Amino acid sequence: MNKEQIEQFFATLKAANPAPETELIYSSVFELLTAVLLSAQATDISVNKATQRLFAVANTPKKILDLGQSRLESYIQTIGLFRSKAKHLIQTCQILIEQHNSVVPCNREALEALPGVGRKTANVILNCAFGEPTMAVDTHIFRVSNRTGLAPGKNPLEVEMALLKRIPQEYLVDAHHWLILHGRYTCTARSPKCNECQVSKCCKAPEAHKTNTVLFQQ
């Protein structure tokens, strides 16, 4: 995509959804961190179902610790990799209490020092909780960026850097959400809905049948 196409791409997505938000349900920064930790290789729907039960009884670092790993696992066992996620969440709660006064830190270094928190998770927290123009490249964003020609890259970090460089500043804060939602519901991995796509005119692949030729690498 050239600059004009990128501008049109995001202007169109913004017009359709002026205030995009994550589909994870949360009411505090800690709840968001917990939900994102649980969301790896899981759908937002499955995470929301689990956290609805969990947050009703434990939604702070201390309350999660008081549950203990075994009881925590019972609340999230419907989510993939729930045992390792429970372990990481317990460890994260301990660090938040001991090093951050139970407050989720607002800088990348401190976030990535938490067990189970990588660059993508930190980017989600920085963007959704603190309004920073970060780009958490998941499978949807990776696919959309490569397929459309918006920001091609061989791995998530390459795509992230390209997106931060190419997306106009006025769209950066919300771009993460627009791209995820577009990939989740329109530019899907299989059978993308090109005939219904609002930004198809900007896409590098004008044919109705568009396939992603670059594999997502976690």
Q: How far is CA 214 from the centre of its chain?
A: 20
pLDDT digits (tens, 9 = 90+) for 160-193: 999 999 999 999 999 999 999 999 999 999 989 9
Q: How far apart are CA 99 and CA 116, in angstroms?
A: 17
Q: In the predicted model, is pLDDT for residue 218 greater than 80? A: no
Q: In the predicted model, is pLDDT for residue 95 greater than 60? A: yes
Decide: 40 and 81 in contact? Cβ < 8 Å: yes
Q: Percent of the chain scored above 90 by pLDDT? A: 89
CATH architecture of the domain 3-20+134-202 equals Orthogonal Bundle (1.10)
Per-residue confidence at 209, pLDDT binned at 50, 70, 90? very low
CATH 1.10.1670.10 region(s) of the chain?
Answer: 3-20+134-202
Concerning whether 193 is annotated as a catalytic residue, the answer is: no
Q: Is the dihedral of CA 11, 13, 18, 23 positive or negative?
A: negative
pLDDT digits (tens, 9 = 90+) for 13-36: 999 999 999 999 999 999 999 999
Question: Residues with Cβ < 8 Å from 55, sequence gap 6 or more?
Answer: 27, 31, 34
Q: pTM for the full model?
A: 0.88
Q: In the predicted model, is pLDDT for residue 210 greater than 80? A: no
Q: In the predicted model, is pLDDT for residue 213 greater than 50? A: no
Classified by CATH at the fold level, domain 29-128 comes out as Endonuclease III; domain 1 (1.10.340)
CATH 1.10.340.30 region(s) of the chain?
Answer: 29-128
What is the DSSP secondary-structure string of the chain? --HHHHHHHHHHHHHH-SS---SS--SSHHHHHHHHHHTTTS-HHHHHHHHHHHHTT--SHHHHHHHHHHHHHHHHTTSTTHHHHHHHHHHHHHHHHHHHTT---SSHHHHHTSTT--HHHHHHHHHHTT--------HHHHHHHHHHSSS--SSHHHHHHHHHHHS-GGGHHHHHHHHHHHHHHTS-SSS--GGG-TTGGG-S--SS-----S----
Taking residues 98-104, report their average pLDDT: 97
> Which of the residues 138, 154, 165, 204 is marked catalytic?
138
Among 129, 166, 127, which residue's Cα sits nearest to residue 145?
166
Concerning whether 44 is annotated as a catalytic residue, the answer is: no
Per-residue confidence at 206, pLDDT binned at 50, 70, 90? low
pLDDT score of 41: 87
> Which of the residues 14, 44, 66, 120 is marked catalytic?
120
pLDDT digits (tens, 9 = 90+) for 120-151: 999 999 999 999 999 999 999 999 999 999 99
Taking residues 42-51, report their average pLDDT: 95
